[in-house]
Structure formats: structure tokens, C-alpha cells
Amino acid sequence: MMVAGVEPRTLVEPQSVDELTDRVRELYARETPFAFIGGGTEMELGNLPRALDTLVRTTACTGVIDYAPEDQTITVEAGMTIAAVSDVLARERQFLAIDAPDPERATVGGAIATNLSGPRRLRYGGIKDTIVGVEIVRPDGVRARGGGKVVKNVAGFDIPKLMVGSLGTLGAIVGATFRVFPVAERRAALMYAVLTVDQMMSLCAELIGAALVPAAVTGFACAKRGRYDVVVTFEGFARGVEEQMTTAAAIAVRLGVDAEALPDDALAAQGKRERALRRGANWHLTVCAPPTALAHFVATTPFADDVRHAVDPLLGTGYFAAAEFDVATVAAWRTALGGGSAVVNALPAQARRGLDSWGEPPKAALAIMRRLKATFDPKGLCNAGRFVGGL
């Protein structure tokens, strides 16, 4: 079990949230550096730990605390896998809007800590939009809650948001409440073949202009340079989906491009293509930029032959994978992206030297983040050094 390529000395697996709380309190009191692990699917994200002794695994904490289908909310312990939560929800024809690449392993806590984000974020929002409550164990071993169990709530500061993407540096996420959604009656998808970047962006403008409501839009880079197969997915009640498919097909005619309907399990097909993207590649990067900047970036960057990628052009997210890559290229991309970011999700251990996984946030905001980290973890023991700015 490695953390950014470093082997911890000890692995502990508390059998309950209470035990986990006790463990953290002891570690903190003894000044033993520690970190958390869920399913272990994203352990290469983040910088080298500054110090690490004990890894605390959350995967034994898997209870469903409360599920209220009528209220479309669920509260679970954070060690539960995304697949397990999905199974519970599926019985009531509901789902959690987190498209995890590896749902059988990825845990709820890990998804929150890494701000896991997939193509259907376009329609259902990201974790930040669907999390309504959180329970954490602070680095000092104190258990605290924020938010609540109801979908609407402005009492107190939004601690749930603060935990999303915090990479376990402000403590362990031990429980969370989400807003969930009814499973759509119908899903259908259309694939527009070999579009140029300009055509892809025109397509996006047309979809928005026609007030369609796609669940996801993903462009998969083709073997032919600068070209994309763009998959547009619709979900909802049957007639609405059919009408949108018709309009979307008409848009293809207007743009003079080929489009074909994908079979019913379009989402599965999309997932397969996404996984294929990363297979056999040691380097994974996520690019995040305003849609127009992302389009400019993919249109003007001279990608090496083995760089595979896909973009969610309306979200402003790009996923890149390659066998060979280097620190200088990461730096060049960051410069090219301006206000956007290029985060390295995975890389070979020996390539870490000199690399910052994240890139630099604005200085003034970083100063507040530093104070925040120092207030939550004054001894600097909790997943130290791995986050943005060496936090």
C-alpha cells in the first residue's frame, strides 16, 4: 500500500468510526505522522509525503446510516464503495451522481477527498453540488459534523464543501450525506464522428443554443490528429430524450458532420472508452480550464504520439494519459493553460523529482489555505506535504 510511491511503516484498519477516532487521537498525541486510505484507487495523486508513519484505512466503516428515498438523500459511512452505495440506491431506482472509473474499489470518502468528477457532472453537478452533510475526524482526533441531512441548509459554515478535494489533509472524512437522483426512464446517446476542435465547439454552442439538456458531452481524441469522436448523452423521460435525439441529429446535418445513435448501454460504452484511455499509461493528468481555453489548448498543443486524451468540452475538463511524459511538458502545459490547471493524477515514482503534482494556486488564496491547514493540523502530522503548496 503506497502513498505517492512511499511505503508507510504501519497500516491500521479500524473496525468502526469510533475506533478510527481513537486511533487518530492517539497518533496525534504521539506526534506520529499519518494519512488515510480508502479503496486506494488514487494514491498517486499528490506530492511526496513530508513525513508518513501510519496509514489508516477506512474500508471497514461501511454502514448505511440513513436512507430516505422519499427525500432523495442518503447518509453513509465513508468506507463504503461507490458500487455498494449504488446497489442500495438502485433498489429504489435512484443513483449517486458520482461517475467513478473504478466504483468497486473507490470509496465515498476517497471520492470526496479527491473531488472525483465525471462527464455527467454537466447535468447533475459535481460532488460539491450534491454533498449536503459531512462528518470528519479532525487531525487532533475530534469528531465534528457540518451541513446536515436535509437538501437545503445554510446553518453554519459549509464544512462539507471544504472537505471536497481536501485530500485528507484536514482530517478523515468518516461519513457523508448526499442528494441522490431518480434513475432516468430513458438514456440515449449520439456519436458525432471525427470532428475538428472548431466543429466540436460549434456543436456545443448549438446544443446550448437549442436549449437541449445533455447529461454528458465527451470528445474522445481520434487516431487522426486534432479530431474527436464526440459522444452526447441524454437522460430523462422517454419523449424528452427522443425529442432531444432528433434535434441533436438535425444539428449534425446542419454542421455537415456524421452522427450515429449509440446502442442503449451508451454510458457503459463511454465508461469503457474512458478506462481504455488510461490502460497501460503510467501518467494520468487532468486539465481544468474554461471551455474556450481548453479548446484552444487542445487545438494548439503539439501532443506527443503516445498521448491519449478525452475532453468534456462544456465542463472544461480534459483527461490525458501517456506512457512517457516529463516534468518540463507539465510545466509547459500549465503555462499554456494560463488560469487553468493541469493536475498529475498518476506517474511513475522515479519521475516525481522536481514535480509539483498540482501547480500553483493564486498566492493570496494560498496564504488563507496555509492558515487553514495550520489551524486544523498545527503539528503538521496529517497527510503532510501532499497537498497544494506543500500543505
Partner 1 sequence: MAAILDFAQIVGKRNTITAPSELRTYECDGLAGFRVRPAVVVLPETTEQVAAAVKLARSLGMPIVPRGAGTGLSGGALPVDGCVVIGLARMTKILAIDLENRRMRVQPGVINLDISRRLAPLGYYYAPDPSSQSVCTIGGNVAENSGGAHCLKYGFTVNHAVGATIVTSDGDVVTLGAQSGEPDSLGYDLMGVLVGSEGLLGIVTEVVVKILRRPQATRTIFATFPSTDEASGAVSSIIASGIVPAAIEMMDKLAIEAIVAATHVDWPLDVGAALLMDVDGVSAEVEDTAAAASALIEAAGAIEMRTPHDEVERGLMWKGRKAAFAAVGRISPNYYVQDGVIPRKDVAAVLREITRLGNEAGLRVANVFHAGDGNLHPLVLYDARIPGQEAKAEHVGGEILRVCLKYGGSVTGEHGVGRDKACYLGEQFSGDDLATMQMVRSAFDPYGVLNPDKLFPTPRLCGDKPGAYTAHPVEISGQAGRG
Positions 225 through 264 that interact with partner 1 (CB under 8 A): 236-237, 239-244
CA 28 – CA 47 distance, rounded (Å): 21
* Residue 118 interacting with partner 1 (CB under 8 A): no
**C-beta of 69 vs 324, nearer to partner 1:** 69
Query: To the nearest whole angstrom, how small is the minimum distance from the Cβ of residue 366 to partner 1?
Result: 7
DSSP 8-state symbol, 182: E
> Residues touching partner 1: how many (CB under 8 A)?
95
The DSSP bridge partners found for residue 177 are: 75, 133
Residues within window 303-322 making contact with partner 1, judged by CB under 8 A? 315-317
Work out which of 50, 128, 187, 273 binds partner 1, going by CB under 8 A: 128
* Residue 275 interacting with partner 1 (CB under 8 A): no
Nearest to 110 by CA among 164, 33, 66: 164
User: How far is CA 268 from each of CA 56, 68, 95, 264, 328, rounded to the nearest angstrom?
Assistant: 33, 28, 15, 9, 35
**C-beta of 143 vs 308, nearer to partner 1:** 143
**C-beta of 192 vs 387, nearer to partner 1:** 387
C-alpha cell at 158: 459549509
Phi, psi angles (nearest 5°) of residue 12: -120, 145
Helix 291-300 / helix 327-337 crossing angle, nearest 10 deg: 130
* Residue 29 interacting with partner 1 (CB under 8 A): no
Residues within window 317-346 making contact with partner 1, judged by CB under 8 A? 317, 339-341, 343
Query: To the nearest whole angstrom, how small is the minimum distance from the Cβ of residue 170 to partner 1?
Result: 8
**C-beta of 287 vs 347, nearer to partner 1:** 287
CA 78 – CA 109 distance, rounded (Å): 4
Name residues whose C-beta falls within 8 Å of residue 37's C-beta, 6 or more positions apart in sequence. 1, 3, 43, 55, 56, 57, 58, 110
**C-beta of 101 vs 389, nearer to partner 1:** 389
Residues within window 347-376 making contact with partner 1, judged by CB under 8 A? 358-362, 364-376
**C-beta of 16 vs 292, nearer to partner 1:** 292
Q: Which stretch binds partner 1 (CB under 8 A): 4-12, 98-106, 182-190, 224-232?
A: 182-190
Work out which of 1, 2, 29, 142 binds partner 1, going by CB under 8 A: 142
> Taking the CA atoms of the chain, what radius of gyration do you get in angstroms?
21
Work out which of 54, 58, 73, 199 binds partner 1, going by CB under 8 A: 73
CA 359 – CA 330 distance, rounded (Å): 9
> Is residue 391 a contact partner of residue 373, using CB atoms and an 8 Å limit?
yes
Phi, psi angles (nearest 5°) of residue 283: -105, 125
Residues within window 184-213 making contact with partner 1, judged by CB under 8 A? 184-185, 205, 208-213
Name residues whose C-beta falls within 8 Å of residue 184's C-beta, 6 or more positions apart in sequence. 215, 235, 236, 237, 241
CA 273 – CA 246 distance, rounded (Å): 25
**C-beta of 8 vs 35, nearer to partner 1:** 35
**C-beta of 349 vs 367, nearer to partner 1:** 367
* Residue 216 interacting with partner 1 (CB under 8 A): no
**C-beta of 115 vs 301, nearer to partner 1:** 115
Query: To the nearest whole angstrom, how small is the minimum distance from the Cβ of residue 163 to partner 1?
Result: 9
Q: Which stretch binds partner 1 (CB under 8 A): 42-50, 71-79, 299-307, 345-353?
A: 71-79
Query: To the nearest whole angstrom, how small is the minimum distance from the Cβ of residue 9 to partner 1?
Result: 27
CA 145 – CA 165 distance, rounded (Å): 17
Residues within window 160-179 making contact with partner 1, judged by CB under 8 A? 161-162, 164-166, 170
**C-beta of 57 vs 203, nearer to partner 1:** 203
Residue with cell 493553460: 337
